[in-house]
């Protein structure tokens, strides 16, 4: 199985353990990932907060490059990039916008590329294999945290249930874990305000962790580098605001699956986390 | 009356969203995680837009509401009329920025966005060390997160050198034709 791959900037920098774990489990599940050549940043929140045309052109260049490379399907592990690419493809169905943007990027663009997130990739191509290859069941009680950008806007993404998504929960069950029933599955963690308004991120992410802890989760499982870093890297600041510190780790879904497949914690980048992972 | 049609007409033209469809049920505000921090919550913003007066539009452009919106899309997910508030927020931010009517709360947020885009403009990708340096220089928050950086480095989370894409010229053109183009401002 060959599939296009858009890692995005955080997977090359502060969330490189997500990249490492995606690559490690893809290999174990016989999925060959082909990186889009010369890809650029999708522009994230910055571009669409400042200028609409820029916010469409940056992702359009990525999609056009993937098309030029002959890719039919691309997996995008970062929920924020996934959202931007999907929204752009949707917006460019409008002829006027498409003409304008293809003129800006100076590249042909058909809009035919299939864009999927990591959960969709596993759901479509690897569930049987995962079940077959589980050697060390991930026997833990965990809170599956989807965040906002993986499921919303539902009308465009058409992925999973918008208030109570299930895909990650099913994967956790498949590898031997138990997802807890909790209230913050899709509540926002504060997203890109980590640096500019740390105070708000600390409060929002603190609420999420508190609920996970109250339901006795042993870990929070995520599929977005922003969620991961807000809940993990900001833990020091979050704990300063809580009456009792929370020490539950935050794992990418690919790391949880990797562990169940018997891949070493080192290969999955588990020691890169701020909150120690002992699982 | 002309004024009234202009504000909501501009929103419709630029975002495709018809603000008159909001019937003030308040579901957007009930689900918004930052409503309590905002000068006025999302449903109130919709009401102000519906009045269509220039005064209220000015109030919106000068509010912290538009900058505190995280674009988490919860409001549109829950709105019975499927009104795309985050899309309106994008448009209002662009207007507020171009017309230089920023609320003081917007300063660090805009500084962060600008540093982010600077990094992409130069290298094609986000260079996190450069982003933080740019943000600190813009906001004079020189000591923020100094404790975090060494640990990030030890955990292998910081690149000391930016990754450059090859076609930086093509990428630069995207900026020249969009955000850096004076003609796209104030449109
Ligand atoms: S949820 Fe929709 S209809 Fe209800 S107040 Fe908000 S925008 Fe208006
Ligand atoms: S998109 Fe903005 S206004 Fe809507 S719920 Fe999220 S933060 Fe609130």
Inspect the interface and report whether the beta carbons of B77 and A13 lie closer than 8 Å. no
Beta bridge partners of A35: A5
> Do B48 and B18 reside in the same domain of the chain?
yes
Task: Quote the number of domains for chain A.
Answer: 2
Distance CA A184, CA A145 (A): 7
Residue (of B111, B182, B175) closest to A54 by Cα position: B175
> Do A152 and A225 reside in the same domain of the chain?
yes
Question: Residue B185 falls within a domain, yes or no?
Answer: no
State which residues form the domain around B155: 105-177
List chain A residues with CB under 8 Å of B77.
152-154, 162-163
> Do A145 and A107 reside in the same domain of the chain?
no
Q: What is the ipTM of this complex?
A: 0.91
> Do B69 and B114 reside in the same domain of the chain?
no
State which residues form the domain around A9: 2-118
Please state, rounded to an integer, the average pLDDT across all residues of chain A: 96
C-beta separation of A24 from A267 below 8 A = yes
Which strands make up the sheet holding A250-252, listed edge to edge?
Answer: A178-179, A141-144, A219-222, A250-252
Judged by a CB distance cut-off of 8 A, whether residue B40 touches chain A is no
Task: Quote the number of domains for chain B.
Answer: 2
A108-159 pLDDT tens trace: 999 999 999 999 999 999 999 999 999 999 999 999 999 999 999 998 999 9
C-beta separation of A10 from A78 below 8 A = yes
- Cα→Cα distances B148→A14, A202, A234, Å: 12, 15, 9
Helix residue spans in A69-193 (DSSP H): 79-91, 95-105, 118-125, 127-133, 154-157, 167-174
CA B77 to ligand 2 centroid distance, Å? 10
Listed residues B54, B76, B102: the one ending a domain: B102
A20-72 pLDDT tens trace: 999 999 999 999 999 999 999 999 988 998 999 999 999 999 999 999 999 99
Question: Residue B184 falls within a domain, yes or no?
Answer: no
Count of residues in chain A: 279
Q: Which listed ligand is nearest to B93 at the C-alpha? A: 2
- Residue B132 Cβ < 6 Å to ligand 1: no
> Do A97 and A36 reside in the same domain of the chain?
yes
Question: Residue A27 falls within a domain, yes or no?
Answer: yes
- Residue B46 Cβ < 6 Å to ligand 1: yes
Task: State the pTM of this model.
Answer: 0.94
Mean pLDDT to the nearest integer, B47-72:
96
| Ligand 2 atom nearest A188 alpha carbon | 6
> Do B48 and B113 reside in the same domain of the chain?
no
Distance CA A92, CA A54 (A): 13
Tokens 């990754």 correspond to what residue? Answer: B163
Predicted confidence (pLDDT) at residue B187 exceeds the cutoff of 90: no
CA B12 to ligand 1 centroid distance, Å? 16
C-beta separation of A229 from A78 below 8 A = no
């Amino acid at each position: 199985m060959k599939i296009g791959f858009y890692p995005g900037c955080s997977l090359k920098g502060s969330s490189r353990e997500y990249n490492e774990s995606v690559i490690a489990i893809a290999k174990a599940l016989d999925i060959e990932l082909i990186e889009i050549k010369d890809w650029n940043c999708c522009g994230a929140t910055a571009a669409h907060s400042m200028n609409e045309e820029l916010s469409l052109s940056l992702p359009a260049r990525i999609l056009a490059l993937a098309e030029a490379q002959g890719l039919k399907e691309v997996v995008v592990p970062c929920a924020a990039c996934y959202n931007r690419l999907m929204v752009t493809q949707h917006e460019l169905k409008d002829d006027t916008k498409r003409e304008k943007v293809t003129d800006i990027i100076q590249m042909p663009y058909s809009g035919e590329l299939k864009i999927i997130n990591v959960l969709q990739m596993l759901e479509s191509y690897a569930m049987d294999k995962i079940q077959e290859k589980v050697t060390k069941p991930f026997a833990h009680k965990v809170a599956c945290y989807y965040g906002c950008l993986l499921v919303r806007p539902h009308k465009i993404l058409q992925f999973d249930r918008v208030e109570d998504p299930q895909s990650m929960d099913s994967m956790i069950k498949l590898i031997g874990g138990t997802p807890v029933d909790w209230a913050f599955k899709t509540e926002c963690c504060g997203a890109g305000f980590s640096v500019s308004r740390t105070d708000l991120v600390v409060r929002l992410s603190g609420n999420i962790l508190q609920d996970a802890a109250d339901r006795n989760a042993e870990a929070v499982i995520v599929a977005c580098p922003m969620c991961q870093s807000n809940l993990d890297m900001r833990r020091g600041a979050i704990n300063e605001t809580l009456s009792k510190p929370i020490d539950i780790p935050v794992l990418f879904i690919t790391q949880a699956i990797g562990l169940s497949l018997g891949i070493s914690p080192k290969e999955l980048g588990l020691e890169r986390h701020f909150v120690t992972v002992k699982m | 009356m002309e004024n009234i049609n202009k504000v909501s007409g501009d929103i419709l033209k630029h975002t495709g969203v018809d603000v008159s469809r909001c019937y003030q049920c308040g579901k957007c505000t009930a689900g918004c995680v930052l409503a309590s921090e905002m000068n006025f919550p999302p449903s109130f913003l919709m009401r102000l837009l519906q009045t269509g007066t220039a005064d209220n539009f000015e109030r919106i452009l000068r509010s912290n509401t538009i900058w505190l919106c995280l674009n988490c899309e919860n409001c549109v997910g829950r709105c019975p009329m499927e009104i795309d508030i985050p899309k309106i927020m994008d448009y209002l931010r662009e207007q507020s920025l171009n017309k230089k009517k920023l609320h003081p709360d917007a300063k660090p947020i805009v500084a962060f966005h600008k540093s982010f885009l600077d990094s992409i403009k130069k290298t094609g990708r986000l260079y996190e060390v450069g982003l933080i340096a740019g943000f600190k220089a813009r906001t004079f928050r020189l000591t923020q997160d100094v404790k975090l950086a060494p640990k990030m480095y030890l955990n292998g989370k910081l690149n000391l050198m930016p990754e450059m894409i090859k076609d930086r010229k093509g990428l630069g053109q995207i900026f020249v034709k969009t955000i850096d183009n004076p003609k796209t401002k104030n449109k």
